[in-house]
Structure 1
Amino acid sequence: MENLPLHYIIIVLAILAIISLSVRLIPHRHVALVERFGKYTRTLEPGLNFLIPFVEKISHKQSLRVQQLNVSIETKTADNVFVIARVSVQYFVESAEAAYNAFYQLDDPEEQITSYVYDVVRAQIPRQSLDNVFDNKDEISNVVMTQLQDAMEEFGFRIRNTLVTDIDPNEDVKRSMNRINAAQRERRAAEHEAEAERIKIVKIAEADKESKILSGQGVAGQRKAIAEGLRESIDMVVDEKNGIGAEHVVYLLTFTNYVDALESIGKDNSVIMVPQPTGQLDQMEEIRNSIISGSAVSNAAKKNGGKKSAS
């Protein structure tokens, strides 16, 4: 290089400068817009490209990848609660042809997308109460996406998705909502406890009912057995020939039960005085003696009759 003339060196440097100014490498999923003397001429695709030095220049490089824009909107609900809605917009330029409209028709795409999101969200949330806003986040997202797509499509942008990521009310409202939720949960818990107690009471009542039914059936069976036993006892003792009728047997059984009751009462060292009609015990005693004497006479007659037959 030291032996080369100066003008050769200048020519080589000029050539290298021209090559560096004319060669452009465009990354994948990007395009570049070329202007010639301030007028758009063509779009460069990804890869190696060449420009005419000093005549053409790249005015804008446009990414074709999905981009995200986060927007925060302060607005008021139908029940006068101020909230901050956070919306994430995912958008992209779908082709090299669309990049022309995206750059030359919109001065600031992000600012204009933000304006559309503000307009749609502030038209939707004030129509709904705070609770409905939380419940209808997906519906709000769909409305924002539909209207934003219609507005931005002519400018070369495609809206991939819009997400209402958060609804943030004032701290006082949050505390009030938490108290309301806690009260509702306590009310539901009390209702469940009351229902459980009601079921328990019903089950106890049903069990008591079944117990009383079974007890009544037992008492009825017991009384039936007693009645049958009394009937058999009366049939065994009644002797019409000797003047012992059924009424005498009933008096005798009544007297016997009376004496047994007095005996059982005396076992626990307690005495209960029960007034009786005058002469009732004497009457029972006379009936008892007549039954016993009648039985004795009957037995003696049977013995005498046996002796006569033997003789």
Structure 2
Amino acid sequence: MGNANCLFCACVQQSNVGVVEKWGRFLMLAQPGFRFLNPLAGECLAGILSTRIRSLDVRVETKTKDNVFVQLLCSIQYRVVKENADDAFYELQNPEEQIQAYVFDVVRALVPRMNLDELFEQKGDVAKAVLEELEKVMKTYGYSIEHILMVDIIPDPAVRKAMNEINAAQRLQLASVYKGEAEKVLQIKKAEAEAEAKYLGGVGVARQRQAITDGLRQNILEFSHKVEGTSAKEVMDLIMITQYFDTIKDLGNSSKNTTVFIPHGPGHVRDISNQIRDGLMEAASAELKAE
């Protein structure tokens, strides 16, 4: 139900305030509710103002410090101050145009001092500057500025495309750096694994040879004790012949081998035995010199 008035009475709805005149001069403000008027004394309801918060969207086109044209969409929320409704009624004929003019003035004075990146980062400062200026001016006209929101900053489409390309290039560069670091770590770990594997392989071979040596020594000692009259050399020759024939047997049983040429005969076995014995003697001599 809207506000209603007749010649002798007026009804002002909630969140509204009426302006009462007497003989063309302001008399008083009519608060929400029912009120009698005396038209014989020159009283009349000149108008009604809403005290609700209203919103005004202002689109401002300006240029930044780095010569980029942008559009700023501001949302101004304002209301009539109930106690000063007479100033709002008589002082301003079109408050929306007045607010828009001041927004244009402040934004076009402040934004050209900023680069585009600074504008995006400091849009709150722009809104604060507009709020301070509007509050100072509109207060004298009976209006209160409640909030100012910098809703959107819209650069030129070509500039937005360039910014997106720059951002994409930076992200690709960063991804390349991370990829290179990952490959570096992978190569280092791979090299460390290979070094560890070779080290463990060497330890395994050394232990294997030590076990073989210990086994041969044990066999020689046991054979010498059980068979009287045999020397260590004779036992070594016998073991070497046995190992030689076992090797030939293994080569023959393997299905993956092709033709293999090896020297065969008692003389070759004796030569191999002599070479192994000489090697063991040289190793023992080197250990004595080291001590």
TM class, shorter-length = 0.7 to 0.9
Aligned: 1:99 with 2:85:
yes
Say whether the 8 Å CA contact 1:32–1:60 is kept in structure 2.
yes
Aligned AA (1:78): K
Aligned: 1:178 with 2:135:
no
Shift in Å at residue 176 of structure 1? 1.9
Where does the alignment leave 5 or more consecutive residues of structure 1 unmatched?
1-18, 275-279, 288-311
Among 194, 200, 207, the alignment partner of 1:221 is 207
Say whether the 8 Å CA contact 2:8–2:38 is kept in structure 1.
yes
Among 8, 11, 16, the alignment partner of 1:30 is 16
Look up the match of 1:85: 72
Look up the match of 1:62: 49
Shift of the 283–48 alpha-carbon distance from structure 1 to 2, 3 Å rule, reads closer
Aligned AA (2:200): L
Say whether the 8 Å CA contact 1:113–1:148 is kept in structure 2.
yes
Among 42, 46, 49, the alignment partner of 2:35 is 49
- Distance in 2 (CA, whole Å) between partners of 1:284 and 1:171 is 90
Shift in Å at residue 218 of structure 1? 2.0
TM-score under structure 2 length normalisation: 0.73
Shift in Å at residue 73 of structure 1? 0.5
Q: Deviations over 1:97-146 (max 9, x none)?
A: 21122233434322222122222222332233223323333343333323
- Distance in 2 (CA, whole Å) between partners of 1:28 and 1:128 is 45
Aligned AA (2:73): R
Aligned: 1:155 with 2:141:
yes
Say whether the 8 Å CA contact 2:64–2:113 is kept in structure 1.
yes
- Distance in 1 (CA, whole Å) between partners of 2:76 and 2:182 is 50
Q: Alignment partner of 2:217: what SS?
A: helix
Q: Alignment partner of 1:21: what SS?
A: coil
Deviates more, 1:264-273 or 1:223-232: 264-273
- Distance in 1 (CA, whole Å) between partners of 2:180 and 2:58 is 48
Say whether the 8 Å CA contact 2:62–2:70 is kept in structure 1.
yes
Aligned AA (2:117): D
Look up the match of 2:97: 111
Deviates more, 1:137-146 or 1:41-50: 137-146
- Distance in 2 (CA, whole Å) between partners of 1:147 and 1:254 is 107
Say whether the 8 Å CA contact 1:31–1:43 is kept in structure 2.
yes
Aligned: 1:271 with 2:257:
no
Aligned AA (2:53): V
- Distance in 2 (CA, whole Å) between partners of 1:128 and 1:260 is 90
- Distance in 1 (CA, whole Å) between partners of 2:272 and 2:200 is 40
Shift of the 250–156 alpha-carbon distance from structure 1 to 2, 3 Å rule, reads farther
Aligned AA (1:87): C
Say whether the 8 Å CA contact 2:237–2:273 is kept in structure 1.
no
Say whether the 8 Å CA contact 1:255–1:284 is kept in structure 2.
no
Q: C-alpha root-mean-square deviation of aligned residues, in Å?
A: 3.7
Aligned AA (1:52): N
Aligned AA (2:81): E
Shift in Å at residue 228 of structure 1? 1.4
- Distance in 1 (CA, whole Å) between partners of 2:22 and 2:197 is 105
- Distance in 2 (CA, whole Å) between partners of 1:44 and 1:89 is 27
Look up the match of 1:208: 194
Among 94, 101, 111, the alignment partner of 1:125 is 111
Say whether the 8 Å CA contact 2:81–2:142 is kept in structure 1.
yes
- Percent of counterpart pairs with the same letter? 38
Shift of the 151–264 alpha-carbon distance from structure 1 to 2, 3 Å rule, reads same
Shift of the 245–53 alpha-carbon distance from structure 1 to 2, 3 Å rule, reads same
Say whether the 8 Å CA contact 2:240–2:273 is kept in structure 1.
no
Aligned AA (1:64): T
Q: Deviations over 1:50-75 (max 9, x none)?
A: 33327233334221100111111101
Say whether the 8 Å CA contact 2:7–2:44 is kept in structure 1.
no
Say whether the 8 Å CA contact 1:32–1:45 is kept in structure 2.
yes
Q: Alignment partner of 1:68: what SS?
A: strand
Look up the match of 1:75: 62
Look up the match of 1:9: none
Look up the match of 1:40: 26
Where does the alignment leave 5 or more consecutive residues of structure 2 unmatched?
275-291
Say whether the 8 Å CA contact 1:152–1:158 is kept in structure 2.
yes
